[in-house]
Amino acid sequence: MKGIIFAAEGFEDLEVFYPLHRLKEEGIDVKIASMEKGKVFGKHGYPVNVDIAFSEVIPEEYDILVISGGKGPEKMRLDQDALKIVTSFFENNKPVAAICHGPQLLISAGVIKGRRATSYIGIRDDLIAAGAVFEDKEVVIDKNLVTSRHPNDLFAFGKEMIGLIKK
């Protein structure tokens, strides 16, 4: 089984490393994807190696997509290849887990309308404006989609993220 985590410069460190190690715990082969290969740094200074550029990703090869938060999503949402990957996962009802600012990509990909979701409170109104049914909960599960608000929710996010792929 393969997983892909989206991360870009200024990512929320725990929101990349918790899902990364948690998926690896389950024996899942995880790749970090971003605008280009190389190294990116989290807002707290942790580096992570980018294994693959968005433009090289074949979405069909992956079983779960995780979108981390922090300052990365405002950059990643401008990348058309990133949005194509998101769209592909939704069209095929494949597991997507987005946390914090991660749902900004769901707005830009046009996949959030009518879906129950949560996010960092600072972008709550953007989700609502885009047609999401916003819920202020540690984790919201709506079919293939799991969303959480911030790093303090990672225990619940991790549990439901794993729940999606164990169905």
Three-state secondary-structure class, residue 65:
strand
For residues 14 and 57, which CB has a smaller minimum distance to a copy of itself in the complex? 14
Q: Give the one residue of 32, 57, 65, 154 binding a copy of itself; rule: CB under 8 A.
A: 154
Decide: is 114 part of the binding site for a copy of itself (CB under 8 A).
no
Q: What is the DSSP string of 66-93?
A: EE--BTSHHHHTT-HHHHHHHHHHHHTT
Distance separating alpha carbons of residues 148 and 87, to the nearest angstrom: 20
User: Length of the chain in residues, anyone?
Assistant: 167
Task: Give catalytic residues, as residue numbers.
Answer: 101
For residue 20, state whether it binds a copy of itself (rule: CB under 8 A): yes
Give the integer Cα–Cα distance in Å for 100 and 87.
Answer: 19
Instruction: Compute CA 135 distance to the chain's CA centroid, rounded to the nearest angstrom.
Output: 18
- C-beta of 108: minimal distance to a copy of itself in Å? 28
Least CB distance from residue 3 to a copy of itself, whole Å? 12
To a copy of itself, the closest distance from the beta carbon of 159 in angstroms equals: 5
**Distance between CA 148 and CA 135 in Å, rounded?**
10
72 binds a copy of itself (CB under 8 A): no
Find the binding residues for a copy of itself in span 119-148 (CB under 8 A).
none
The pair of three-digit structure tokens given for residue 74, joined into one six-digit string:
């405002």
Backbone angles phi, psi at 33, to 5 degrees: -115, 145
- Residue numbers 39-68 binding a copy of itself by CB under 8 A: 44-46
- Interacting stretch for a copy of itself, rule CB under 8 A, among 22-30, 67-75, 83-91, 97-105? 22-30
Write out the residues near a copy of itself by the rule CB under 8 A: 13-14, 17-18, 20-22, 24-25, 44-46, 151, 154-156, 158-159
